[in-house]
């Protein structure tokens, strides 16, 4: 089974970071127990390529400018549960986490409310957002919000709020790349 490290080496340009920088984020997320690992030594052990693991890396890139900022706040955001948006929509049954919702987007296997995702955003007040819209056009308001309960060094009432977003064209490239990598992963498992 291909590992996350191999995926990150090839997909690094889509993330806008070097393969080494992405691998260091992987290591930090493993240390924080935020991504799935397989125990043991040798082939088949380590950090497998899964849509959730790829989503955790993407969330860490959006949430933290540097490796030093990949901490419990990022983990809290990965595991944040969905809440109703300002439009008054009720929270969906099962209350997916931000990591699971981003993983579904990367798989291209989205349930109905995530079918037409145009962007994924992280506000540095520790809020994840998935927006719906037409590919190539920015969405005005988020469709799903995932507030983190993780402690923030700056608190929730920041005078300045930072937002990082992956837009539709780059997101579409990342989804296609991830789908291809996961399908190769499935083919290799079938051959075993």
Q: What is the mean pLDDT of residues 76-93?
A: 69
Overall average pLDDT of the 178-184 stretch: 90
Contact 82, 150 (CB under 8 A): no
Q: What is the pLDDT of residue 18?
A: 96
* pLDDT for the residue numbered 140: 55
Identify the burial level of 119 via C-beta atoms within 10 angstroms of its C-beta, where 0-12 means exposed, 13-18 middle and 19 or more buried.
buried
The yes-or-no verdict on residue 120 having pLDDT over 80 is yes
Instruction: Provide the pLDDT for residue 57.
Output: 97
State if pTM tops 0.95.
no
pLDDT of 147 > 80? The answer is: yes
pLDDT above 90: residue 113: no
Q: Which residue has the tokens 């955001």?
A: 77
Q: What Cα–Cα distance (Å) separates residue 140 from each residue in 98, 133, 183? A: 19, 9, 33
Q: Residues 122-138: pLDDT tens digits?
A: 988 778 888 876 554 55
- Mean model confidence pLDDT for the chain: 81
Quote the pLDDT of residue 94: 61
Give residue 153's pLDDT. Answer: 45
| pLDDT number for residue 111 | 64
How sure is the predictor about 190, in pLDDT bands with cuts at 50, 70 and 90?
A: low
Q: How confident is the model at residue 156 (pLDDT cuts 50, 70, 90)?
A: very low
pLDDT in tens, 25-48: 999 999 999 999 988 777 767 899
Closest by Cα among 63, 68, 82, 55 to 24: 68
Q: Where are the domains of the chain?
A: 4-191
């Amino acid at each position: 089974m291909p590992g996350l490290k191999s995926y990150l080496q090839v997909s690094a340009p889509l993330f806008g970071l070097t393969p080494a920088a992405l691998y260091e984020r992987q290591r930090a997320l493993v240390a924080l127990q935020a991504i799935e690992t397989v125990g043991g030594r040798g082939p088949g052990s380590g950090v497998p390529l899964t849509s959730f693991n790829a989503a955790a890396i993407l969330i860490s890139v959006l949430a933290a400018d540097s490796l030093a900022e990949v901490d419990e706040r990022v983990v809290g955001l990965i595991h944040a549960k969905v809440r109703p948006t300002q439009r008054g929509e009720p929270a969906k049954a099962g209350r997916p986490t931000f990591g699971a919702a981003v993983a579904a987007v990367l798989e291209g296997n989205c349930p109905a409310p995530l079918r037409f995702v145009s962007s994924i955003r992280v506000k540095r007040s520790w809020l994840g957002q998935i927006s719906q819209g037409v590919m190539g056009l920015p969405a005005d308001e988020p469709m799903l919000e995932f507030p983190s309960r993780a402690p923030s060094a700056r608190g929730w009432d920041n005078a300045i709020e930072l937002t990082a977003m992956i837009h539709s064209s780059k997101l579409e490239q990342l989804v296609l790349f991830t789908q291809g990598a996961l399908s190769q992963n499935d083919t290799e498992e079938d051959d075993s």
